[in-house]
Amino acid sequence: MLLAPKLSCPTVPLSNGLQIPIFGLGTSHDGGYSHDAIVYALTECGVRHIDTAKRYGCEEQLGHAIRESGIPRRDLWITNKLWNGDYGYEAAKKACLDSCSQMRVEYFDLYLMHWPESTQLCSNREMRADTWRALEELHKEGLCSAIGVSNFLVHHLEELKEDCSVVPHVNQVEYHPFQQPNHLMEYCRQEGIVFEGYSPLAKGQVLNNPTVLQIAQKYGRTPAQICIRWSIQNGVVAIPKSIKKKRIHENCQVFGFELEKSDMVALGSLDDGRHVTWDPTNVK
């Protein structure tokens, strides 16, 4: 099999010295996984950053697709997430090992706590701290090259910083022109936490926005490319999801142009606070 050249993708430095590709391919549950699409992204588009989670139910299939692609493990960045049903010190360590086994990999480049709320009858803060200590050990043991969180807000991060010794390397949250948590972004930058954004296309809601359409026409690009480019130019790691080869190819073509400052400002003015997925605002 002829392998595609590695996508010319910039990286973002983590606080531990690793470099995470600023662009990746997301997967999800409810029809958000396609074996052929993963293999295509890796072999034809040169994608090297794949994001998944235990909750998506596709670990085994994803591992098979990665092996079929023939891409050496050392050339990939694989992110996985620990679901909150597996929170707690012992459960978290076992879940990580189980996920490695399901995907048939020896380590994850990044392993995240998926949600700030526990399913168990104890304080969320206590459970987050107990779980994070497990991730710290997994990191120390080399099973997770970097560790982080997902959907955590400032108060969650502040508590974790007080309770534990390793500051998360990454915080992955919803981010698109309609949802711009600028206060959280600034906090993460001050603390050396890389900000990663999922749902950069707001599940398609942003693609028909007049401002986005106007800017897309100006650059001769698609609305999706404009939104992904906007995320990247803001320094945000973007992981758009798609199971369609045409869309994946389109989404990868975001490094051959740059948005002017006025267009970045125009897109930045679209924030209306809407969530297209989970909202962690009320999680204590």
Separation between Cα atoms, residue 7 and residue 47, nearest integer Å: 6
What angle do the packed helices 89-103 and 124-141 form, to 10 degrees? 50
Q: Which of 173, 181, 179, 174 is nearest to 271 (CA)?
A: 179
Separation between Cα atoms, residue 159 and residue 188, nearest integer Å: 14
Q: Is 119 exposed, middle or buried (0-12, 13-18, 19+ CB in 10 A)?
A: exposed
In total, the chain counts a number of residues equal to 284
Task: Give counts: helices (H), strands (E), the chain.
Answer: 10, 10
| Neighbouring residues of 130: CB distance < 8 A, sequence distance ≥ 6 | 87, 88, 89
Separation between Cα atoms, residue 157 and residue 195, nearest integer Å: 13
Please pick, among 56, 111, 175, 198, the residue that the annotation labels catalytic.
56
* Local structure of residue 187 (DSSP, 8 states): H
The verdict on whether 56 is a catalytic residue reads yes
Does 49 count as an annotated binding residue? no
- Residue 79 CA: distances (Å) to CA of 20, 200, 206: 10, 17, 26
Helix or strand run (H / E) with residue 113: strand 108-113
Separation between Cα atoms, residue 232 and residue 105, nearest integer Å: 29
| Neighbouring residues of 258: CB distance < 8 A, sequence distance ≥ 6 | 229, 233
Asked if 251 and 240 touch (Cβ cutoff 8 Å), the reply is yes
Residues in the annotated binding site for substrate: 114
Active site residues: 56
Q: Which residues are annotated as a binding site?
A: 114
